[in-house]
Amino acid sequence: MTGDLLLQAAVSGFLLGGVYGLVAGGLSLIFGVLRIINFAHGAVMMLAMYATYWLFTLLGVDPYLSILITGPAFFAFGMLVQRIVIEPNRFAAEHNQLLLTLGLALFLENLALVLWQGDFRTVRPAYAAASFVLADALVEVPRLIACAGAVVMALALFAFLRLTDVGKAIRALSEEPEGAMLMGIDVRRIRAVAFGIGAACVAVAGALVAPFFYVAPDVGESFNIVAFVVVVLGGMGNFVGALAGGFIVGLAESLGATLLPGSLKQLVVFALFVLVLLFRPAGLFGGGHGR
């Protein structure tokens, strides 16, 4: 195995890792505040990718610019879903809440199947084919932009959680729900906001990957399963941990593909998952307290 191959694997794994981190960040935030595992996360990403596709195809909106539309739209969509579907079941048993989000995912995927059929669609702006070579490693421009965009979005959210009142309320709720309630925080609203932010995260991620990916009803699965691994790796509810976990999983996957034969790269990811659960059940960076 030559150094070139490893370098290439490291670069491409790192670039994808940023996207994993953003998707997982949203999932982690939702878990931290609402204490539910949102299986519909990938399905929301899929819807956002369709939104990006239609904006691009019908109105000619650049996928990256469309974030200005889909980001807020999916924030609102997330809040609405939380209010209508999740909130009424807040006191239901945990496994029922799990089934609820799973059901939501199935509903959204089948809705997409009915509305837009199972055929694949491509968002292909002019720069989709752009790439350059950096020290013998290929860097695909759309993937680089996706990674950078994901990191910027994650940092912005981190600042938001640290510096604004709503952000502080989210962290308070994540850390100590009863205390937060007693301090007069409108926890109902904050829960909806957190779910909305989670949805906005995947919406942004969806738009960022669209130029090098494809759009189909089950496209969310490509990121959703990995996102769960990342969340566990980074610590449930730990936003920054999720971003770091994203890079770790991206690198592990890519280096696994280089060093191991065939489809074993998936094995590396899930081996990592099991190992973390066994030895660091709170995640590599500790459980989330609104960090």
- Using the 8-state DSSP alphabet, how is residue 211 labeled? G
Does 41 engage in binding with other proteins (CB under 8 A)?
no
Q: Are 233 and 284 in contact (CB under 8 A)?
A: yes
Say how many C-beta atoms besides its own lie within 10 A of residue 246's C-beta: 32
Smaller CB separation from other proteins, 19 or 86: 19
Which two three-digit tokens encode residue 222?
A: 């490509």
Least Å distance, CB 276 to other proteins, is: 21
Q: Are 260 and 268 in contact (CB under 8 A)?
A: yes
Smaller CB separation from other proteins, 2 or 278: 2
Least Å distance, CB 112 to other proteins, is: 11
CA 80, CA 84: separation in Å to the nearest integer? 6
Candidates 47, 53, 100; CA nearest to 77 is 47
Only segment of 77-85, 119-127, 160-168, 271-279 that touches other proteins (CB under 8 A): 119-127
Does 102 engage in binding with other proteins (CB under 8 A)?
no
Site for other proteins in 145-184 (CB under 8 A): none
Least Å distance, CB 258 to other proteins, is: 5
Site for other proteins in 206-225 (CB under 8 A): 209, 212-214, 216, 218-219, 221-223, 225
Tell how far CA 186 is from the center of its chain: 26
Does 12 engage in binding with other proteins (CB under 8 A)?
yes
Identify the three-state secondary structure at position 124: coil
CA 53, CA 124: separation in Å to the nearest integer? 9
Per-residue interface string for the shown chain with other proteins, residues 254-273, x marking contact by CB under 8 A: xx-xx--xxx-xx-------
Candidates 207, 210, 205; CA nearest to 226 is 205
Positions touching other proteins (CB under 8 A) are 2, 4-5, 8-9, 11-13, 16, 19, 113, 117-122, 124, 128-129, 131, 138, 140, 143, 209, 212-214, 216, 218-219, 221-223, 225, 253-255, 257-258, 261-263, 265-266
